[in-house]
């Protein structure tokens, strides 16, 4: 798993901060929203493209600013090579020498400004009400690691992720397209938020020792690995039980049943974590399956609603 670099490489560092695996969380939500908007109204491609770009800019900025905070706190420094995985352990652009501190701050500032500019263009030329989604989203991105709040260090990072990648991104993208909200989409956005938060949750297991020693008191650290394992299983069970209830109770969403494509991956990851919570190498497939679960859920829900309703 080691990819240690001993010299600067700006492009490699920027690529790590862009991290396509993590960006899948936001792209999944925007996919669902775009499919619903295409079915309920009509896609406005220029605003969709700007929305996608703006959210991506926030992702890169958050990763860059968070990298510095986690480096300074000792969290990333404390992660041993044996504890790293493709999905956890930080981006390590500072530790691996890919970027300097000044470059990392520069990337953070540049991409925050690009995100703000994207939002202001949409608000100024299209609909100013989108700021109701954009401002909280930007605040959560910054305060997840930074400022005096540091949500990820206070056991509130998981909730922030569920809100940001669920209702804010999904409903915000849909609102940009249609100028209104969708009641069924509120439910689906919350379910997606739970599944994305579960991805963050399982990624905190390999970092447990380093996070605990550095005072990064996320929920896995606060609960301990045994209780956190139960919490993870409960999150997945709640998400898919909620989805099943929606399918059974709402004829308007019965066409979203392909979202159940994500269930086998969720079951696999829950089984794997339950049996191997202390084995980091064995956890990697569970981390990948959690990622697959919310991606397949989003893909199935969006495509089903678009083509089958």
pLDDT in tens, 253-263: 899 999 999 99
Q: What is the pLDDT of residue 111?
A: 97
pLDDT in tens, 196-219: 999 999 999 999 999 999 999 999
Residue 5 has pLDDT above 60, yes or no: no
Residue 4 has pLDDT above 60, yes or no: no
- Across the range 133-137, mean pLDDT stands at 97
CA separation for the pair 309, 130 (Å, rounded): 27
Query: Which residue(s) pair with 88 in the sheet?
Result: 85
Residue 3 has pLDDT above 70, yes or no: no
Token pair for 31: 């996919």
CA separation for the pair 212, 166 (Å, rounded): 27
- Across the range 154-182, mean pLDDT stands at 97
Q: What is the pLDDT of residue 300?
A: 98
**Cα–Cα–Cα angle for 256, 31, 35, rounded to 5 degrees:** 55
Q: Pick the range with the lowest mean pLDDT from 3-7, 84-88, 99-103, 156-160.
A: 3-7
Spell out the domains of the chain, with CATH numbers in brackets.
10-308 (1.10.600)
Q: Is the pTM of this model over 0.85?
A: yes
CA separation for the pair 140, 160 (Å, rounded): 6
Cβ(268)–Cβ(255) under 8 Å? no
Query: Which residue(s) pair with 234 in the sheet?
Result: none
Q: How many CB atoms lie within 10 A of CB 168?
A: 24
Q: What is the pLDDT of residue 7?
A: 56
Residue 17 has pLDDT above 90, yes or no: yes
> What is the DSSP secondary structure assignment for residue 270, as one 8-state letter?
H
Sequential DSSP letters for 133-184: HHHHHHHHHHHHHSTTT-GGGTT-HHHHHHHIIIIIHHHHHHHHHHSS--HH
Cβ(263)–Cβ(240) under 8 Å? yes
Residue 299 binned pLDDT confidence (cut-offs 50, 70, 90)? very high
pLDDT in tens, 22-34: 789 999 999 999 9
CA separation for the pair 169, 230 (Å, rounded): 28
């Amino acid at each position: 798993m080691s990819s240690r670099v001993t010299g600067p490489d700006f492009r490699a560092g920027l690529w790590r901060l862009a991290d396509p695996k993590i960006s899948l969380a936001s792209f999944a939500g925007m996919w669902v929203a775009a499919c619903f908007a295409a079915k309920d109204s009509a896609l406005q491609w220029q605003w969709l493209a700007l929305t996608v770009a703006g959210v991506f800019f926030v992702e890169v900025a958050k990763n860059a600013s968070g990298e510095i905070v986690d480096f300074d706190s000792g969290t990333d420094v404390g992660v041993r090579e044996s504890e790293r995985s493709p999905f956890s352990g930080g981006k390590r652009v500072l530790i691996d020498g890919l970027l300097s501190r000044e470059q990392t701050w520069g990337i953070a500032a540049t991409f925050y400004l690009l995100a703000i500019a994207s939002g202001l263009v949409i608000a100024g030329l299209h609909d100013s009400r989108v700021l109701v989604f954009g401002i909280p989203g930007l605040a959560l991105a910054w305060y997840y690691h930074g400022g005096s709040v540091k949500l990820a260090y206070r056991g509130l990072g998981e909730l922030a992720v569920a809100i940001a990648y669920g209702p804010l991104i999904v409903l915000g993208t849909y609102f940009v397209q249609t100028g209104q909200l969708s009641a069924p989409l509120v439910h689906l956005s919350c379910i997606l938020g739970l599944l994305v938060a579960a991805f963050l949750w399982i990624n905190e297991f390999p970092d447990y020792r380093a996070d605990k020693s550095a005072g990064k008191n996320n929920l896995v650290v606060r609960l301990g690995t045994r209780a956190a394992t139960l919490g993870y299983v409960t999150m997945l069970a709640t998400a898919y039980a909620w989805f099943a209830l929606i399918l059974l109770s709402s004829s308007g969403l019965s066409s979203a049943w392909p979202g159940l494509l994500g269930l086998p991956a969720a079951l696999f990851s829950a089984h794997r974590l339950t049996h191997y919570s202390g084995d980091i190498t064995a956890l990697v497939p569970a981390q990948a399956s959690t990622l697959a679960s919310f991606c397949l859920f989003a893909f199935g829900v969006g495509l089903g609603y678009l083509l089958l309703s």
